Structure 1
Amino acid sequence: MPSETALPEGPFDGRLAFDAALRAALDAAARKGWREIVLSDPDFADWPLGERTSIAALQAWAASGRSLILLAEGFGVFDRAHARFVEWRRLWSHIVEARACSGSAAPAVPSAVWTPSWSLHRIDPERSRGVCSHQAESRRALRERLDECLRQARPAFAASTLGL
Protein backbone atom coordinates (compact mmCIF):
# COMPACT_ATOMS: atom_id res chain seq x y z
CA MET A 1 0.00 0.00 0.00
CA PRO A 2 1.55 3.35 -1.00
CA SER A 3 2.21 5.56 1.97
CA GLU A 4 2.52 8.88 0.17
CA THR A 5 -0.54 8.71 -2.07
CA ALA A 6 -1.79 12.23 -2.68
CA LEU A 7 -5.49 12.82 -2.31
CA PRO A 8 -7.10 13.70 -5.63
CA GLU A 9 -8.55 17.14 -6.27
CA GLY A 10 -11.16 17.98 -8.88
CA PRO A 11 -13.39 15.86 -11.07
CA PHE A 12 -13.04 12.11 -11.58
CA ASP A 13 -14.68 9.94 -14.22
CA GLY A 14 -15.13 6.18 -14.19
CA ARG A 15 -14.99 3.24 -11.84
CA LEU A 16 -11.19 2.98 -11.79
CA ALA A 17 -10.84 6.66 -10.86
CA PHE A 18 -13.46 6.32 -8.12
CA ASP A 19 -11.80 3.21 -6.70
CA ALA A 20 -8.38 4.92 -6.76
CA ALA A 21 -9.75 7.99 -4.98
CA LEU A 22 -11.41 5.85 -2.31
CA ARG A 23 -8.23 3.82 -1.76
CA ALA A 24 -6.23 7.07 -1.50
CA ALA A 25 -8.69 8.37 1.10
CA LEU A 26 -8.47 5.24 3.24
CA ASP A 27 -4.68 5.30 2.99
CA ALA A 28 -4.59 9.00 3.94
CA ALA A 29 -6.87 8.46 6.94
CA ALA A 30 -4.13 6.85 9.04
CA ARG A 31 -1.34 9.11 7.78
CA LYS A 32 -3.32 12.26 8.47
CA GLY A 33 -4.94 10.99 11.68
CA TRP A 34 -8.49 11.88 10.71
CA ARG A 35 -10.68 11.57 13.79
CA GLU A 36 -13.89 11.07 11.79
CA ILE A 37 -14.76 9.57 8.42
CA VAL A 38 -18.22 9.31 6.89
CA LEU A 39 -18.77 6.75 4.12
CA SER A 40 -22.13 7.14 2.42
CA ASP A 41 -23.79 5.30 -0.46
CA PRO A 42 -27.25 3.90 -1.16
CA ASP A 43 -25.86 0.33 -0.91
CA PHE A 44 -22.02 0.26 -1.27
CA ALA A 45 -22.37 -2.52 -3.85
CA ASP A 46 -19.55 -1.28 -6.09
CA TRP A 47 -17.16 0.04 -3.43
CA PRO A 48 -13.84 -1.81 -2.92
CA LEU A 49 -14.45 -2.20 0.84
CA GLY A 50 -13.83 -5.95 0.88
CA GLU A 51 -10.32 -5.68 -0.57
CA ARG A 52 -7.31 -6.52 1.57
CA THR A 53 -5.77 -3.09 0.91
CA SER A 54 -8.93 -1.31 2.07
CA ILE A 55 -9.04 -3.35 5.28
CA ALA A 56 -5.33 -2.81 5.91
CA ALA A 57 -5.82 0.94 5.53
CA LEU A 58 -8.81 0.93 7.89
CA GLN A 59 -6.86 -1.18 10.38
CA ALA A 60 -3.98 1.33 10.29
CA TRP A 61 -6.47 4.17 10.85
CA ALA A 62 -8.54 2.56 13.61
CA ALA A 63 -7.77 3.72 17.14
CA SER A 64 -9.50 4.90 20.26
CA GLY A 65 -11.20 8.23 19.76
CA ARG A 66 -11.74 7.66 16.04
CA SER A 67 -15.18 7.43 14.44
CA LEU A 68 -16.42 5.85 11.21
CA ILE A 69 -20.00 6.56 10.21
CA LEU A 70 -21.58 4.38 7.54
CA LEU A 71 -24.74 5.75 5.94
CA ALA A 72 -26.81 3.77 3.44
CA GLU A 73 -30.34 2.99 2.38
CA GLY A 74 -29.51 -0.62 3.23
CA PHE A 75 -26.55 -2.85 4.11
CA GLY A 76 -27.66 -6.16 2.57
CA VAL A 77 -24.72 -6.34 0.16
CA PHE A 78 -22.04 -6.39 2.86
CA ASP A 79 -22.24 -10.06 3.83
CA ARG A 80 -22.01 -11.09 0.16
CA ALA A 81 -19.59 -8.54 -1.29
CA HIS A 82 -17.53 -7.18 1.61
CA ALA A 83 -16.86 -10.13 3.93
CA ARG A 84 -13.48 -8.78 5.07
CA PHE A 85 -15.09 -5.47 5.96
CA VAL A 86 -17.82 -7.25 7.95
CA GLU A 87 -15.16 -9.01 10.03
CA TRP A 88 -13.19 -5.78 10.52
CA ARG A 89 -16.41 -4.01 11.56
CA ARG A 90 -17.02 -6.69 14.23
CA LEU A 91 -13.57 -6.08 15.70
CA TRP A 92 -13.94 -2.30 15.66
CA SER A 93 -17.68 -2.02 16.42
CA HIS A 94 -16.96 0.52 19.17
CA ILE A 95 -15.80 3.11 16.59
CA VAL A 96 -18.23 2.24 13.76
CA GLU A 97 -21.76 3.61 13.62
CA ALA A 98 -23.98 2.30 10.81
CA ARG A 99 -27.25 4.05 9.98
CA ALA A 100 -29.91 3.37 7.36
CA CYS A 101 -31.83 6.22 5.77
CA SER A 102 -34.70 4.92 3.66
CA GLY A 103 -38.37 5.47 3.10
CA SER A 104 -40.52 7.68 0.94
CA ALA A 105 -39.92 10.80 3.04
CA ALA A 106 -36.19 10.21 3.50
CA PRO A 107 -33.68 12.27 1.53
CA ALA A 108 -31.59 10.51 -1.11
CA VAL A 109 -28.41 9.07 0.38
CA PRO A 110 -25.42 10.57 -1.46
CA SER A 111 -22.49 8.46 -2.63
CA ALA A 112 -19.69 10.20 -0.79
CA VAL A 113 -16.71 10.22 1.55
CA TRP A 114 -16.47 13.04 4.07
CA THR A 115 -13.44 13.78 6.23
CA PRO A 116 -12.39 16.84 8.24
CA SER A 117 -10.06 18.01 5.44
CA TRP A 118 -11.19 16.33 2.19
CA SER A 119 -14.31 15.01 0.51
CA LEU A 120 -15.39 12.88 -2.42
CA HIS A 121 -18.86 13.21 -3.90
CA ARG A 122 -19.89 10.72 -6.58
CA ILE A 123 -22.56 12.82 -8.28
CA ASP A 124 -23.34 10.18 -10.94
CA PRO A 125 -22.92 6.77 -9.24
CA GLU A 126 -24.03 4.85 -12.33
CA ARG A 127 -21.05 6.16 -14.31
CA SER A 128 -18.84 6.76 -11.26
CA ARG A 129 -18.46 10.46 -11.98
CA GLY A 130 -17.92 13.02 -9.30
CA VAL A 131 -15.59 15.47 -7.66
CA CYS A 132 -12.96 15.40 -4.91
CA SER A 133 -12.23 18.54 -2.94
CA HIS A 134 -10.17 20.01 -0.13
CA GLN A 135 -12.35 23.15 -0.15
CA ALA A 136 -14.12 23.87 3.11
CA GLU A 137 -17.26 25.09 1.34
CA SER A 138 -17.64 21.82 -0.60
CA ARG A 139 -17.07 19.74 2.54
CA ARG A 140 -19.56 21.84 4.50
CA ALA A 141 -22.29 21.49 1.83
CA LEU A 142 -21.72 17.73 1.62
CA ARG A 143 -21.79 17.39 5.41
CA GLU A 144 -25.12 19.23 5.54
CA ARG A 145 -26.61 16.69 3.10
CA LEU A 146 -25.16 13.82 5.12
CA ASP A 147 -26.44 15.28 8.39
CA GLU A 148 -29.95 15.59 6.95
CA CYS A 149 -29.89 11.88 6.10
CA LEU A 150 -28.41 11.02 9.50
CA ARG A 151 -31.19 12.93 11.29
CA GLN A 152 -33.76 10.68 9.64
CA ALA A 153 -31.71 7.48 9.79
CA ARG A 154 -32.04 4.56 12.16
CA PRO A 155 -29.36 2.21 13.52
CA ALA A 156 -28.56 -0.63 11.11
CA PHE A 157 -25.93 -3.24 10.18
CA ALA A 158 -25.37 -4.65 13.64
CA ALA A 159 -21.82 -5.78 14.42
CA SER A 160 -23.10 -9.07 15.76
CA THR A 161 -26.32 -11.01 15.81
CA LEU A 162 -27.52 -12.15 19.19
CA GLY A 163 -29.93 -15.03 19.35
CA LEU A 164 -31.09 -17.90 21.45
Structure 2
Amino acid sequence: MDEASLSTPLPNGRFEGRAAFQQLLRDALCQAAHQGWREITVCDSNFEDWPLGERAVVDALQAWAGSGRKWTMLADSFDAVTRRHPRFVNWRRTWSHLIDCRAVPGHARRADPSSLPSCLIGPSWVMRRLDLEHCTGISGDEPRRRVDLQESLNEWLRRSSPAFPATVLGL
Protein backbone atom coordinates (compact mmCIF):
# COMPACT_ATOMS: atom_id res chain seq x y z
CA MET A 1 0.00 0.00 0.00
CA ASP A 2 1.51 3.34 -1.00
CA GLU A 3 1.39 6.59 1.00
CA ALA A 4 -1.55 8.00 -1.01
CA SER A 5 -3.71 4.96 -0.39
CA LEU A 6 -2.98 5.07 3.35
CA SER A 7 -5.10 8.21 3.56
CA THR A 8 -7.90 6.60 1.51
CA PRO A 9 -10.62 5.07 3.68
CA LEU A 10 -11.00 1.32 3.60
CA PRO A 11 -13.83 0.27 1.26
CA ASN A 12 -17.47 -0.18 2.13
CA GLY A 13 -19.44 -2.78 0.25
CA ARG A 14 -19.20 -6.20 -1.26
CA PHE A 15 -16.04 -7.97 -2.33
CA GLU A 16 -15.67 -11.07 -4.44
CA GLY A 17 -12.85 -13.53 -4.92
CA ARG A 18 -9.79 -14.67 -3.01
CA ALA A 19 -7.55 -11.94 -4.46
CA ALA A 20 -9.97 -9.19 -3.36
CA PHE A 21 -10.32 -10.74 0.11
CA GLN A 22 -6.56 -10.99 0.58
CA GLN A 23 -5.99 -7.44 -0.67
CA LEU A 24 -8.59 -6.13 1.78
CA LEU A 25 -6.70 -7.82 4.60
CA ARG A 26 -3.37 -6.36 3.46
CA ASP A 27 -4.89 -2.88 3.15
CA ALA A 28 -6.60 -3.13 6.54
CA LEU A 29 -3.38 -4.12 8.31
CA CYS A 30 -1.49 -1.28 6.63
CA GLN A 31 -4.22 1.14 7.74
CA ALA A 32 -4.06 -0.34 11.25
CA ALA A 33 -0.35 0.43 11.43
CA HIS A 34 -0.71 3.88 9.87
CA GLN A 35 -3.69 4.91 12.02
CA GLY A 36 -2.52 3.22 15.21
CA TRP A 37 -5.48 0.92 15.79
CA ARG A 38 -5.39 -0.18 19.42
CA GLU A 39 -7.14 -3.50 18.86
CA ILE A 40 -7.58 -5.97 16.01
CA THR A 41 -9.66 -9.13 16.19
CA VAL A 42 -9.42 -11.78 13.50
CA CYS A 43 -11.42 -14.96 13.24
CA ASP A 44 -11.42 -17.86 10.80
CA SER A 45 -11.77 -21.60 10.93
CA ASN A 46 -8.05 -22.10 10.19
CA PHE A 47 -6.59 -18.95 8.46
CA GLU A 48 -5.31 -21.18 5.68
CA ASP A 49 -6.07 -18.76 2.84
CA TRP A 50 -5.24 -15.54 4.69
CA PRO A 51 -2.02 -13.81 3.56
CA LEU A 52 -0.54 -13.87 7.08
CA GLY A 53 2.81 -15.29 5.94
CA GLU A 54 3.52 -12.61 3.37
CA ARG A 55 6.42 -10.29 4.07
CA ALA A 56 4.27 -7.17 3.50
CA VAL A 57 1.66 -8.39 5.99
CA VAL A 58 4.23 -9.19 8.66
CA ASP A 59 5.90 -5.81 8.02
CA ALA A 60 2.52 -4.10 8.53
CA LEU A 61 1.98 -6.07 11.74
CA GLN A 62 5.46 -5.14 12.91
CA ALA A 63 4.70 -1.47 12.26
CA TRP A 64 1.38 -1.85 14.10
CA ALA A 65 2.73 -3.65 17.18
CA GLY A 66 3.52 -1.61 20.22
CA SER A 67 2.56 -0.78 23.76
CA GLY A 68 -1.16 -0.87 24.48
CA ARG A 69 -2.04 -2.86 21.36
CA LYS A 70 -4.04 -6.07 21.36
CA TRP A 71 -4.44 -8.76 18.67
CA THR A 72 -7.11 -11.40 19.30
CA MET A 73 -7.16 -14.43 17.05
CA LEU A 74 -9.92 -17.06 17.13
CA ALA A 75 -9.93 -20.32 15.15
CA ASP A 76 -10.97 -23.93 15.23
CA SER A 77 -7.38 -24.94 14.69
CA PHE A 78 -4.04 -23.18 14.26
CA ASP A 79 -2.40 -26.11 12.44
CA ALA A 80 -2.59 -24.35 9.06
CA VAL A 81 -1.09 -21.19 10.55
CA THR A 82 2.02 -23.01 11.77
CA ARG A 83 2.29 -24.94 8.51
CA ARG A 84 1.59 -22.17 5.97
CA HIS A 85 2.61 -18.90 7.65
CA PRO A 86 6.10 -19.23 9.21
CA ARG A 87 6.80 -15.47 9.07
CA PHE A 88 3.63 -14.82 11.04
CA VAL A 89 4.56 -17.53 13.57
CA ASN A 90 7.93 -15.82 14.13
CA TRP A 91 6.26 -12.43 14.49
CA ARG A 92 3.79 -13.97 16.93
CA ARG A 93 6.68 -15.27 19.08
CA THR A 94 8.20 -11.80 19.30
CA TRP A 95 4.93 -10.07 20.16
CA SER A 96 3.25 -12.84 22.20
CA HIS A 97 2.50 -10.38 25.03
CA LEU A 98 0.11 -8.51 22.68
CA ILE A 99 -1.56 -11.56 21.16
CA ASP A 100 -4.42 -13.65 22.53
CA CYS A 101 -4.93 -16.79 20.43
CA ARG A 102 -8.03 -18.81 21.22
CA ALA A 103 -9.64 -21.96 19.87
CA VAL A 104 -13.25 -23.04 19.90
CA PRO A 105 -13.67 -26.48 21.42
CA GLY A 106 -14.92 -29.04 18.90
CA HIS A 107 -18.18 -29.70 20.72
CA ALA A 108 -19.15 -26.03 20.55
CA ARG A 109 -19.42 -26.14 16.73
CA ARG A 110 -20.99 -29.52 16.01
CA ALA A 111 -24.42 -28.01 15.40
CA ASP A 112 -23.24 -25.69 12.60
CA PRO A 113 -19.60 -26.00 11.51
CA SER A 114 -19.85 -22.98 9.20
CA SER A 115 -21.07 -20.57 11.84
CA LEU A 116 -17.65 -19.37 13.06
CA PRO A 117 -17.24 -16.10 11.18
CA SER A 118 -14.30 -15.37 8.90
CA CYS A 119 -13.63 -11.73 9.70
CA LEU A 120 -11.39 -8.89 10.74
CA ILE A 121 -12.68 -6.31 13.20
CA GLY A 122 -10.93 -3.00 13.76
CA PRO A 123 -11.98 -0.02 15.84
CA SER A 124 -14.19 1.45 13.12
CA TRP A 125 -14.11 -0.97 10.16
CA VAL A 126 -14.98 -4.62 9.66
CA MET A 127 -14.59 -7.18 6.92
CA ARG A 128 -16.49 -10.47 6.86
CA ARG A 129 -16.52 -13.33 4.39
CA LEU A 130 -20.05 -14.59 3.94
CA ASP A 131 -19.28 -17.38 1.45
CA LEU A 132 -15.99 -19.14 2.15
CA GLU A 133 -16.04 -21.28 -0.98
CA HIS A 134 -16.39 -18.33 -3.37
CA CYS A 135 -14.60 -15.92 -1.04
CA THR A 136 -17.31 -13.26 -1.14
CA GLY A 137 -18.26 -10.94 1.62
CA ILE A 138 -18.82 -7.42 2.80
CA SER A 139 -16.79 -4.72 4.47
CA GLY A 140 -17.63 -1.37 5.92
CA ASP A 141 -17.45 1.23 8.62
CA GLU A 142 -21.11 1.22 9.64
CA PRO A 143 -21.24 1.11 13.47
CA ARG A 144 -24.19 -1.32 13.50
CA ARG A 145 -22.31 -3.85 11.36
CA ARG A 146 -19.30 -3.69 13.67
CA VAL A 147 -21.39 -4.02 16.84
CA ASP A 148 -23.38 -6.97 15.46
CA LEU A 149 -20.26 -8.82 14.37
CA GLN A 150 -18.45 -8.08 17.65
CA GLU A 151 -21.42 -9.37 19.67
CA SER A 152 -21.47 -12.58 17.63
CA LEU A 153 -17.73 -12.99 18.04
CA ASN A 154 -17.93 -12.34 21.79
CA GLU A 155 -20.18 -15.41 22.12
CA TRP A 156 -17.54 -17.53 20.37
CA LEU A 157 -14.79 -16.04 22.52
CA ARG A 158 -16.70 -16.92 25.70
CA ARG A 159 -16.75 -20.57 24.59
CA SER A 160 -13.10 -20.59 23.53
CA SER A 161 -9.92 -21.50 25.35
CA PRO A 162 -6.28 -20.43 25.00
CA ALA A 163 -4.48 -22.00 22.04
CA PHE A 164 -1.47 -21.65 19.72
CA PRO A 165 1.25 -21.03 22.33
CA ALA A 166 4.08 -18.73 21.26
CA THR A 167 6.64 -21.32 22.31
CA VAL A 168 6.51 -25.01 23.03
CA LEU A 169 8.56 -26.09 26.00
CA GLY A 170 10.01 -29.55 25.90
CA LEU A 171 11.65 -31.72 28.51
**TM-score category (smaller protein):** over 0.9
TM-superposed CA distance for 1:8, in Å, is 1.5
Q: SS state of the match for residue 104, structure 1? A: helix
List, as ranges, runs of 4+ consecutive aligned residues in structure 1 with deviation greater than 3 Å: none
Aligned to 1:84: 87
The whole-number CA distance in structure 1 between the counterparts of 2:101 and 2:85 is 15
Q: Deviations over 1:106-141 (max 9, x none)?
A: 473210000111000101111110000100000000
Aligned 1:10-21 pairs, distance under 5 A? 10-21=13-24
TM-superposed CA distance for 1:48, in Å, is 0.4
Alignment check: 8 A CA contact 2:108 2:159 kept: no
Q: SS state of the match for residue 109, structure 1? A: coil
2:123 paired with 1:120: no
TM-superposed CA distance for 1:105, in Å, is 2.8
Aligned 1:15-34 pairs, distance under 5 A? 15-34=18-37
Alignment check: 8 A CA contact 1:35 1:67 kept: yes
Aligned to 1:148: 155
Which runs of no fewer than 5 residues in structure 2 stay unpaired? none
Aligned to 2:2: 2
Which runs of no fewer than 5 residues in structure 1 stay unpaired? none
Equivalent pairs, count: 164
Report the identity percentage: 48
Q: SS state of the match for residue 85, structure 1? A: helix
Alignment check: 8 A CA contact 1:71 1:109 kept: no
Q: Deviations over 1:14-73 (max 9, x none)?
A: 011101100010000011111000011000000000000000000000001000000001
RMSD: 1.1
The whole-number CA distance in structure 2 between the counterparts of 1:16 and 1:2 is 18
Give the TM-score, by structure 2 length: 0.92
Give the TM-score, by structure 1 length: 0.96
Aligned to 1:137: 144
Q: Which amino acid aligns with 1:80?
A: R
The whole-number CA distance in structure 1 between the counterparts of 2:55 and 2:83 is 15
The whole-number CA distance in structure 2 between the counterparts of 1:105 and 1:86 is 26
The whole-number CA distance in structure 2 between the counterparts of 1:88 and 1:144 is 28
TM-superposed CA distance for 1:89, in Å, is 0.1
Q: Which amino acid aligns with 1:2?
A: D
Which residue, 90, 99, 104 being the options, matches 1:101? 104
